[in-house]
Structure 1
């Protein structure tokens, strides 16, 4: 593994999102001095926090899987995730609703899910689910250590027996077709293939290897941190500062001072100069390229994932049919993905994710009130409407989205809203997300593994990248790994824990203990 050369005593990490915080913890554990610089008012990055009246709203991811990866970062400094954050396992992980009026509870426990599939679609599908689950577990074991939790220096690293094992498992076939080998019910196939949207690829075109995301969602467990998803980066920031990191928020880096192929210092918007031995850039890939003054040459431009419209709604009521996470699929499926990724059109028959965090933490809303997060995928601004077009389009789409929710059984949703915030590609663009997408670079074959933008920077010996735009990719588990991999480029550490599916399988609720480190304002 190639590593940063020369001294690495003091490392500046630009960006205090999940990848930056994970990187900082691993660096601290390896004895480095760390300064974390964050342009926003508090840590979190995409996993930020805002207040709508008396509602506390997570601005980014709402689904937590593989929390042991976060615990590994805490463990680097002799701490534990479970000392800071109370986690509750979600049973079911999701509720799934379909256009025909049917509903399915998606359990991560194998026996519970087999029974639910049998109720929903009969014994043959239940048997198929068991075979699918076994395949997903095999896929995860083959991919995690060799193709996800690893630093690539060359595509030649793919030449390993695990590549043959992945091929034998059908990992290079198409996701939709591979899932169809186990399940014939079209509704069930959607439950185990919609995750391809996270990767920015339609299930009919995505590699079957991307089913590893379905493993995380439907096998390994889904968890909820008390206080919302922002509790995770806040706790990581506390652990990092408690271990000696200097965290400076509302601090923007504007220049990297270079000489002899190394960054010698970072310059802030205030004019202050911070000397350093190495730099880890966890900001948006396009922002990193701006700071570097260069972007690596690629034979074709980077492709970005679809974007999303999010409606944060604080309401005076909720609806019993909703789970903590509810997936509501429209009747159209292949057409929907074509609209999102090729035609650049809004979904004519949308599939939606509705998250209700107050189902497990009433303190996120005023007494007797509820918080709903409605995510509707939409085209990014490269293939769909421009960012500017969303200024007029946004309010109209919001109204159609609310009307669609009411048609799907959330009667009175419009009248129940007391506080709301609509987030569209216009807002994502203003935050610096390329192509107006918070999901960054898509996971096409040419943008995966060793073909994804690498975390080492050609021409600079002491700069490393981390975050969803680089290896291994998009999602909470992968950006935590990204931070660890970036730290390893600095420290030379290669030790990894073996793959594990759940943090503590027998425990549904993990107690927290008060943190002795300082807290930071939510962004």
Structure 2
């Protein structure tokens, strides 16, 4: 795999003499950007408004239980390993990462299951059990996914799309790969069984997309998982956050918590620092925003700043769904439940239509159930289990009043889990907490409470997505789910890799200032 990295530079000037990079937000995109910029010779300050780093990847601890608030699995772990390698260290010395097998179990509404893994023989056996006539379709689909992954992720995932010519250059490949088709449309071309069409098309939901409208380019996820596996960090994903913060601090960088940014400061059309909500001003040579692109352009720039991605553009954009997440601990263990379970409801297309188009909170749901204590007893007290269950729901462009609806909705999920996967659940719960789209809007500044920012449709991907290097403001750069290539941990880590191509080396930046 062709990976563009900048090794640690020898002979760097004293830390206080280096150009200053200020990073707004400490999600994985911002943290990865800090490591990469620090290795290239920048003095780095990361500003996080919450009381802990990680953004959506923060952690909740209560009653001896540990809950990852957001991401729960690792794909493409080499992207994390690169960050340690850039610092001349080994990730395994700080974080223990273990592969999962199966990746997840998919439970259909009638109780039938499908164990999804990276083992080709095991997958063929599962398909033969459910729909043997689709075995040939599985082979052709995985070959298509491999080619899409090679182009869409390995070749283009870390390449900036700064101009329309960049998009036109790859357009023939995208058309050849069927990017204009939806993920479900591509899957349906290869599978006839509706259960398998669901199994192989739901993955865009992991990055905020509707399988019936997300570009088929996102079918790359299947090969990405097969090639690099699905992994779990012992102790939780928060261990990765802590490890990367340690890398930043080891470079001489700083991560400041409880430091919400109010405004990106400009001199003309050049970013020159930030102002915190406290009134403190921090000068910078470059500003990297890990805030959602809608917030960067709609709220953080001075009022009246004209940009391509301002409020007018945001009003016509399509946004990902909202997320309802319930974290709970039980005083018993459910040994029959695996690490990851996708519990499907009675409807698929119609439920997604309710969520994405009608923005109506339906009575039924499909659930993603995470039981980390299946692999890692350290996240729960002895004899107990830690759980996280996620339900895709409409974002706040719908009319759901979550203050009134949250508890009733949680109880519906509790009842459904008790009837299917977790018998007697109501009597076993000892810790409980929920996050709704309103919490996403408040805690993460997610416009409309959208769990993943912009929806990954073709006209909001690559060049059509907010660019990693701002077209409007000099020395302003974007990382995270709101820019290219998009959401999901491989995506946000790749946004930081793009900076290697668009952010000048510090000595070049100094020379440009001297000549200004």
Same fold (TM over 0.5): yes
Deviations 1:245-301 (A, max 9, x none): 122222222233322432333233343332221111112334323121245356562
Deviation at 1:145, TM superposition (A): 4.1
Q: Which moved more, 1:297-306 or 1:151-160?
A: 297-306
Q: What SS is found at the alignment partner of 2:61?
A: strand
Deviation at 1:195, TM superposition (A): 1.3
Aligned pair 1:368/2:380, yes or no?
Answer: no
**Equivalent residue number for residue 21 of structure 2:** 11
Deviation at 1:180, TM superposition (A): 1.9
CA distance in 2, matches of 1:126, 1:348: 35
**Equivalent residue number for residue 314 of structure 1:** 329
**Equivalent residue number for residue 501 of structure 1:** none
CA distance in 2, matches of 1:490, 1:168: 32
Q: Answer whether contact 1:263 1:279 (CA < 8 A) is retained.
A: yes
Q: What SS is found at the alignment partner of 1:95?
A: strand
1:495-514 counterparts in 2 under 5 A? none
Find 1:202's aligned residue among 185, 202, 210.
210
5+ long unaligned stretches in structure 1: 1-6, 494-523
**Equivalent residue number for residue 97 of structure 1:** 107
TM-score using structure 2 length? 0.88
Find 1:189's aligned residue among 192, 197, 207.
197
Deviation at 1:334, TM superposition (A): 0.8
**Equivalent residue number for residue 521 of structure 1:** none
Q: How many residues align?
A: 482
Deviation at 1:37, TM superposition (A): 1.6
Q: What SS is found at the alignment partner of 1:312?
A: strand
Q: Which moved more, 1:211-220 or 1:147-156?
A: 211-220
Deviation at 1:21, TM superposition (A): 0.8
The runs of 4+ residues in structure 1 deviating greater than 4 Å are 297-300
CA distance in 2, matches of 1:32, 1:471: 23
Deviation at 1:53, TM superposition (A): 1.7
> What's the RMSD between the two structures over aligned residues?
2.1
1:7-406 counterparts in 2 under 5 A? 9-122=19-132, 124-160=133-169, 162-289=170-297, 290-293=299-302, 294=305, 296-297=309-310, 301-382=316-397, 384-386=398-400, 389-406=401-418
**Equivalent residue number for residue 499 of structure 1:** none
Q: Which moved more, 1:283-292 or 1:427-436?
A: 283-292
Q: Answer whether contact 1:23 1:487 (CA < 8 A) is retained.
A: no
Q: What SS is found at the alignment partner of 1:46?
A: helix
**Equivalent residue number for residue 518 of structure 1:** none
Deviation at 1:142, TM superposition (A): 1.4
CA distance in 2, matches of 1:199, 1:366: 31
Deviation at 1:369, TM superposition (A): 0.8
Q: Answer whether contact 2:23 2:290 (CA < 8 A) is retained.
A: yes
Q: Answer whether contact 1:133 1:219 (CA < 8 A) is retained.
A: no
Deviation at 1:492, TM superposition (A): 6.0
CA distance in 2, matches of 1:326, 1:475: 18
Deviation at 1:146, TM superposition (A): 4.2
Deviations 1:361-382 (A, max 9, x none): 1111111110011101100011
CA distance in 2, matches of 1:477, 1:78: 21
CA distance in 2, matches of 1:48, 1:246: 18
**Equivalent residue number for residue 3 of structure 2:** none
Deviation at 1:430, TM superposition (A): 1.7
Higher fraction of helix? 2
Higher RCO structure (Cα 8 Å, ≥6 apart): 1
Residues 1:202 and 1:39: Cα distance change in structure 2 (over 3 Å): closer
Q: Answer whether contact 1:110 1:219 (CA < 8 A) is retained.
A: no
Deviations 1:191-229 (A, max 9, x none): 211112234443233322121233334553100000111
Q: Which moved more, 1:437-446 or 1:356-365?
A: 437-446
Residues 1:220 and 1:346: Cα distance change in structure 2 (over 3 Å): farther
Residues 1:359 and 1:335: Cα distance change in structure 2 (over 3 Å): same
CA distance in 2, matches of 1:67, 1:484: 14
